[in-house]
Amino acid sequence: MNQLSKLFQDMAFPDPSPFDQALSARAGVQKEESYSVATSNSGTGKAATGSQPSLQSCGVRLGKAPAAISLPDMNCSIKQQVSLSGFTSYRVGGPAEWFVMPRTVDDLRASVAWARDEGLSVMMLGAGSNLLVSDRGLPGLIICTRYLRYTHFDDHSGQVTVAAGEPMPRLAQQAAERGWQGLEWAIGIPGTAGGAVVMNAGAHTSCTADILTQTQVLTADGSLKILLPADLDYRYRTSALQGDISRLVTQSTFQLKPGAAPATVIATTRAHQERRHATQPYHLPSCGSVFRNPEPHTAGWLIQETGLKGYQIGDAQVSELHANFIVNCGNATAHDVFQLICYIQEQVEQRWQIRLEPEVKLLGQFYSGSHDQ
């Protein structure tokens, strides 16, 4: 192991499985595409244990036994009733009605076509951060992009092209080892390149929109189309691709700055990572920042000054380290997390007359009562 690689040994995410395991225990800040289908009302304000509904109560169509479908010329199978808890950084969530992990764009195209023919909805899932999946599960076809991976650095243009499922921390590591500047901030983004493009992920005053030159999407008719940043209506932590299932990101190209000393870029990248570890609860599962910052305040400060650090419902807790994080202390359910989100909103609004807006995306059915109905 050379000196530069050794400096990064605690940052590396070499394979999908270790990467998934790291995300489940070390959620950072933002970052993943998702589509919100939930209500958000006030919580009970009482410590309560959320209930985990049985499969029979899930809001998805259930078969008698798990099934898998293999389509012609596909390198993967479409599976039925796959638990999503292992695919989210919160480590909670019910089953996907149908689930697939395509390895190629052709696999992705075939999966979307199958869902269309079956009359199913489609949702893309990358690293599973910045979202909360209902205990009741999700209907339709959930497409996980984590096996859609490749990276190409063009030394002539200073551009890097990456597949949608490429982990942002690994991309930041590779760029730093080459002495390419521009992705130092991304070392702590626990998501994929595709999710970063959709959500305009960012940190430390930088964001995806600053470096994106183009993105390739799969359209509803199965064709591939190139979109430029001007086509994406980029704003704070969102874009025109958010919630748009007719345009699914397959790869993206970022403009970086080659030519710096690798050790210098590595040092800057490491400083970003160490700052995150010092200020955010990487040791427990979370989604990253739960609420958007209501300028000129920060959500974390408002929650802290309301006296909610450490407040807990079930096994979901407002982090003692950073109040804008809700962590899973071991056996939290999505219902626990949702109730805590509602309670925080209620208490902060009573104290400051400010209604906090969730940054985390709520997927599936949620209820504001003391238990699921």
359 is catalytic: yes
The number of angstroms, rounded, from the C-alpha of 53 to the middle of its chain's C-alpha atoms is 24
Instruction: Write the DSSP symbol of residue 163.
Output: E
Q: How far is residue 33's CA from residue 148's CA, in Å, rounded to a whole number?
A: 15
CB 180, CB 160: distance < 8 Å: yes
91 is catalytic: no
The SS3 assignment for 219 reads: strand
Strands (E), the chain: 68-69, 78-83, 95-100, 122-125, 131-133, 138-144, 151-154, 159-163, 202-203, 206-207, 212-219, 224-227, 247-255, 312-313, 316-318, 326-328, 361-363
Please pick, among 26, 237, 247, 276, the residue that the annotation labels catalytic: 237
CB 136, CB 94: distance < 8 Å: yes
Q: Is 244 left (phi over 0), alpha (psi -120 to 50) or beta?
A: beta
Note the helical H segments in 82-150: 105-118
357 is catalytic: no
Please pick, among 32, 33, 166, 359, the residue that the annotation labels catalytic: 359
CB 141, CB 99: distance < 8 Å: yes
CB 194, CB 32: distance < 8 Å: no
Please pick, among 85, 134, 289, 319, the residue that the annotation labels catalytic: 289
Instruction: Write the DSSP symbol of residue 188.
Output: G
CA atoms within 13 A on the CB side of 162: 27
Query: Which is it for strands 247-255 and 224-227: parallel, antiparallel or unpaired?
Result: unpaired
Tell me the C-alpha to C-alpha distance, in Å, between residue 6 and each of 185, 263, 350: 20, 11, 50
Instruction: Write the DSSP symbol of residue 46.
Output: S
The number of angstroms, rounded, from the C-alpha of 318 to the middle of its chain's C-alpha atoms is 19
Query: Which is it for strands 95-100 and 138-144: parallel, antiparallel or unpaired?
Result: parallel
Which residues are tagged catalytic? 237, 289, 359
